[in-house]
Amino acid sequence: ADVAGQTQQILDRIDALLAAAGSDKSKLLKANIWLSDISTWSQMNDVWTGWVDPGSTPARATVEAALARPDILVEIMVEAAC
């Protein structure tokens, strides 16, 4: 998948993990996002913006980094309250 597709896959997984923990995206406190190529930021951001709750956007840092494998284009880590 491209950056947008990988971002959506990750956010779907985050939704599932938050639900399993008794939380949801409205309780996000912080997000760190790593992109293998920062020029793809807008592709990731379009998906991210459509996913987050408008009144509950967390603090976020997005940086370019060498990721574990060449096929991984984006990684996202979030912290949320329960």
How far is residue 44's CA from residue 32's CA, in Å, rounded to a whole number? 13
Report pTM.
Answer: 0.94
Check residue 65 and give its pLDDT. 98
Check residue 69 and give its pLDDT. 97
The DSSP symbol for 16 reads: H
Check residue 82 and give its pLDDT. 87
Residues with pLDDT less than 70, the chain:
none
Sign of CA dihedral 56, 61, 64, 66: negative
